[in-house]
């Protein structure tokens, strides 16, 4: 995917005529009530819209592929005096807000403007999205986002401590998981295809990349992850790709509005943010990386199971000190939730067990 696609620019270009007509109609019907800053014209006798500029678009995420969005426009108006004796006219600028909606599932062909008003202040969106249509999620919101994800796709995981089966999760979401070598050098460990296409995969028997037809809604995981990493890493990769499907389809469809050949998101084995600046792809990877372990180890259920293991190993080892049982507890949690030991250790620290910081780091 491209690093940044602008929904504002797309809307401004594609829907310019519809936006222009909506504002023109509004100003013609309401010119006598507009709060315009005029210096020469005393009484408005007529008004004409000469140009518009989209200043920003504020997007609210909705279920499925639907979105609502406010388009804020700066309009250039020519205002005429009603008293012909003065024969005055002047140009002025005024900001307007258009409340709109559309469905990315049909390429916004159903674009609708529901209202036009003079702009007063930016509406606070309940589920805000960036200009690239990536959900805006702050660090302190990650736990609730992970819980909402599970409530929607795997509700049993927030009722009782249980290991999430990634293949089952994918199936519940209508996704298919396939194990297949993706690249020779394992530079890409997973990818999800949003649309059917022909794609290239590494064929070790022929030692070359070969073209293969791929269905939409397919997750590919490189099986080398089993050998070069562990089962926990494979499970994390599948959940990671499920997060992309759940949260990032709209950003992907925006990419397709610019580039109809876009078909998938590739997830690199080694990645980083250069110069501390993140583009849309970086933010999507950050969200998937941050949410996957919280989905695999839901906060409340993880705490419940951690407490049970601490109690168990205190009894078995004859100690009252949590630090004395941290190593076996982390091992047990990693096994129970089918995650890597590192993920279990980090999650223990996340939920407040500082003693876990002193345990041995191990993949």
**Which residues of the chain are modeled with pLDDT < 70?**
1-3, 36-46, 80, 82-87, 89, 225-231, 266-278, 359-363
pLDDT at 297: 98
What is the count of structural domains for the chain?
A: 3
Query: H-type helices in 79-202, by residue range?
Result: 142-153, 166-172
Say if 145 falls within a structural domain. yes
pLDDT at 48: 80
Contacts 24+ apart (CB under 8 A), 138-144: 139/290, 142/290, 142/291, 142/294, 143/294, 143/299
pLDDT at 270: 41
Question: What is the C-alpha separation between 129 and 149, in angstroms, rounded?
Answer: 17
> What tokens appear for 59 in the block?
């997007």
Same domain as 231, residue 96? no
pLDDT at 325: 94
Question: What is the C-alpha separation between 234 and 228, in angstroms, rounded?
Answer: 10
* Domain around 53: 7-129
Which string of b and e fits 150-188 if b means at least 16 CB within 10 Å?
Answer: beebbeebbeebeebebeebbeebebebeeeebbeebeb
**Contact between 132 and 278 (Cβ < 8 Å):** no
Same domain as 124, residue 172? no
Nearest alpha-carbon partner for 178 in 229, 219, 235: 219
Question: What is the C-alpha separation between 329 and 338, in angstroms, rounded?
Answer: 14
Q: Is the dihedral of CA 304, 308, 313, 318 positive or negative?
A: positive
Same domain as 232, residue 202? yes
Same domain as 176, residue 116? no
Say if 108 falls within a structural domain. yes
Instruction: Please identify which residue in the block is written with the tokens 């990032």.
Output: 248
Same domain as 273, residue 249? yes
Which residues are CB-contacts of 142 (< 8 A; sequence separation ≥ 6)?
Answer: 290, 291, 294
Same domain as 286, residue 148? yes
pLDDT at 272: 36
pTM above 0.75, yes or no: yes
Same domain as 228, residue 118? no
């Amino acid at each position: 995917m491209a690093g940044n696609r602008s929904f504002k620019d797309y809307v401004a270009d594609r829907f310019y005529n519809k936006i222009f007509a909506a504002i023109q109609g509004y100003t013609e019907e309401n010119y006598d009530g507009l709060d315009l800053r005029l210096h020469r014209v005393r009484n408005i006798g007529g008004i004409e819209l000469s140009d518009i500029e989209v200043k920003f678009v504020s997007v609210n995420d909705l279920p499925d592929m639907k979105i609502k969005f406010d388009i804020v426009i700066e309009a250039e108006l020519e205002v005429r005096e009603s008293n012909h004796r003065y024969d005055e006219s002047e140009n002025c600028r005024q900001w307007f807000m258009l409340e709109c909606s559309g469905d990315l599932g049909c390429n916004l062909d159903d674009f609708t403007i529901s209202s036009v008003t003079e702009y007063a202040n930016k509406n606070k969106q309940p589920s805000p999205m960036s200009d690239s249509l990536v959900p805006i999620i702050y660090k302190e919101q990650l736990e609730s986002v992970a819980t909402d994800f599970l409530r929607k796709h795997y509700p049993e995981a927030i009722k009782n401590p249980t290991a999430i089966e990634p293949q089952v999760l994918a199936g519940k979401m209508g996704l298919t998981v396939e194990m297949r070598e993706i690249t020779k050098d394992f530079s890409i460990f997973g990818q999800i295809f949003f649309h059917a296409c022909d794609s290239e995969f590494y064929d070790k028997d022929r030692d070359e990349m070969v073209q293969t037809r791929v269905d939409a809604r397919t997750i590919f995981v490189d099986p080398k992850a089993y050998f070069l990493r562990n089962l926990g890493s494979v499970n994390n990769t599948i959940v990671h790709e499920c997060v992309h499907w759940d949260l990032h389809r709209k950003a992907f469809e925006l990419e397709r509005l610019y580039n109809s050949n876009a078909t998938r998101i590739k997830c690199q084995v080694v990645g980083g943010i250069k110069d501390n600046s993140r583009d849309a792809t970086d933010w999507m990877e950050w969200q998937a990386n941050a949410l996957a372990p919280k989905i695999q180890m839901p906060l409340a259920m993880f705490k419940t199971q951690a407490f049970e293991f601490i109690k168990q190993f205190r009894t078995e080892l004859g100690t009252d000190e949590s630090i004395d049982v941290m190593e076996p507890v982390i091992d047990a949690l990693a096994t129970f939730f089918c995650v890597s030991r590192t993920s279990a250790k980090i999650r223990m620290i996340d939920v407040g067990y500082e003693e876990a910081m002193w345990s041995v780091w191990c993949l």
